[in-house]
Amino acid sequence: MKMKMIQKLSTVAAFATVAMAAAFVSTASVQAAESGPEMEHVDWSFNGPFGTFDRSQLRRGYKVYKEVCASCHSMDLIHFRNLGEPGGPEFSGPEVKALAAEIKVQDGPDQSGDMFERPGEGKDKMPAPYPNPEAAAASLGAAPPDLSLLAKARNGGPDYIHALLTGYKDAPADVAMPAGGHYNPYFAAGSGVIAMPPPLAEGQVDYGDGTPNTVDQMSKDVSAFMMWTAEPKLEQRHRMGFQVMIYLLVLAGILFFATRKVWSDQH
């Protein structure tokens, strides 16, 4: 009878240990081996199992996206209302409304069957600069990818975005440069030739809050913003991981004492 109970307890304890190990592994960010040049590992506020986004940084990053990147890149998965949701830039209701109202959206048909334009609303997507990838490629030399999920779709994540945006160089003599090409050794495609011209210049975006608007700062801010768009529930996941860990620690403690009690009763 007691033996059975001990067996049961040790099975549960083994399960708890395995589950705890799994929780540790899944919260630690596993970095895959990189093939390109070594990229800087930025000390992001959202790194590690307890990391959170820096609200001001996400707001600045949105400004960089809106004023610079959005003229070429779409961000189809993000709606204006997302900008006010918990865990993100957390703009207030009126701020979200005002940001959405900056764009014009085609809507309709109205009662007489005509399409009409209205100011943007929370339910609208970030406006796409081109009607389709072909049109974008025809004017830019290559289609700029949608930025919604890109920070999670590339090795290095936000470190890669930051390295790319700050990594333009003069092409080495042995690299043949096609017309409209730019040299950037960090470009994931490998050749180092990218159709995107260096998008950021010193002082380009006016932050209005005294944050220095260097290329390095703007690229960090927009990379953090892209990390949020790619994983809007990151903070929730970190919180959940922490709670699960506490739960498992308490459970392991209880099992430890229960096992000791059962064994000591035997003698």
Q: How far is the CB of 73 from ligand HEC (least distance, A)?
A: 5
Q: How far is the CB of 244 from ligand HEC (least distance, A)?
A: 33
- Is 108 within 8 Å of 116 (Cβ atoms)? yes
Q: Closest CB to ligand HEC among 171 and 188?
A: 188
- Is 57 within 8 Å of 220 (Cβ atoms)? yes
Q: How far is the CB of 26 from ligand HEC (least distance, A)?
A: 25
Q: Which two tokens stand for residue 184?
A: 């950037």
Residues that bind ligand HEC (CB under 6 A): 64, 68-69, 71-73, 140, 142, 144-145, 150, 154, 161, 164-165, 188, 194-197, 199-200, 222
Q: How far is the CB of 35 from ligand HEC (least distance, A)?
A: 13
Q: Closest CB to ligand HEC among 147 and 248?
A: 147
Q: Closest CB to ligand HEC among 45 and 155?
A: 155
Q: How far is the CB of 129 from ligand HEC (least distance, A)?
A: 8
Q: Closest CB to ligand HEC among 91 and 187?
A: 187
Q: Closest CB to ligand HEC among 137 and 245?
A: 137
Residues found in the chain? 267
Contacts of residues 63-66 at CB distance under 8 Å and 24 or more positions apart, as own/partner, are 63/205, 63/207, 63/221, 64/200, 64/205, 64/218, 64/221, 64/222, 64/225, 65/147, 65/222, 65/225, 65/226
CA-to-CA separations, 150 to 89, 160, 174, 229, 236, in angstroms, rounded: 18, 10, 30, 9, 20
Residues 6+ apart with CB under 8 A from 101: 119, 120, 121
